[in-house]
Amino acid sequence: MTLSVNFLTSEDKYDAIKDRNPKAEGVFVYAVKTTGVVCRPTCSARLALFKNILFFATLQEAIELGFRPCRKCKPEIQMGWNRHRKLVIALIALFHEMQATGRSAGDLKLAEIAKSVHISKWQLIKVFKRYTGTTPMKYFQGILDGKKPLRENDIPNVVTKKRELGPKTEEKSTDGGESSVHLSVYFEGILDDDWVTEFYGR
């Protein structure tokens, strides 16, 4: 049974995009007639009226009719499109590097990290907790205390409004660290990307 059975009608699909239901990812995309943009179901753009939306099974179908991919949710990207997940994975990698180099919880400067990715400390904590179930400080203290670390494959592909969709493929563990702690290394591809704040406007 495929996930698409949950979104058989246009009304079902519209409900999915209203709720930004992650289970709709990969099942369909939708285009907005008034903007000419095609989005993934979990896009955080302002919800268009039902009468202005067209649904497609694939992105290519929408493009062939003249719609262009949304710059916010990037439906053309299959892997690595979720900036929140990338941020959480980057933080975990940083924490393990700090552990490996003998850093303590007192060395963890969340405000500095948040500033480096252009979000608030509160937003950073909220994103991390949404994807891991704990705060950055508690996670870091936990691995210092010997708790089992999370692997990249443990992090859901997407979480929206307390819903989540787990990883579809086994991915490389983040246990292996980088050679030194430089924020730009860990947060490459996240800096200057406004999509990292996508859940905070609604």
Residues forming the active site: 39, 43, 70, 73
Q: What is the CB-side half-sphere exposure of residue 33 using CA atoms within 13 A?
A: 7
Tokens of 46: 């302002």
Question: For the residues of 15-75, what is the DSSP string, one character each?
Answer: HHHHTT-GGGTTT-EEEETTTTEEE-TT--SPPPPGGGEEEESSHHHHHHTT-EE-TTT-T
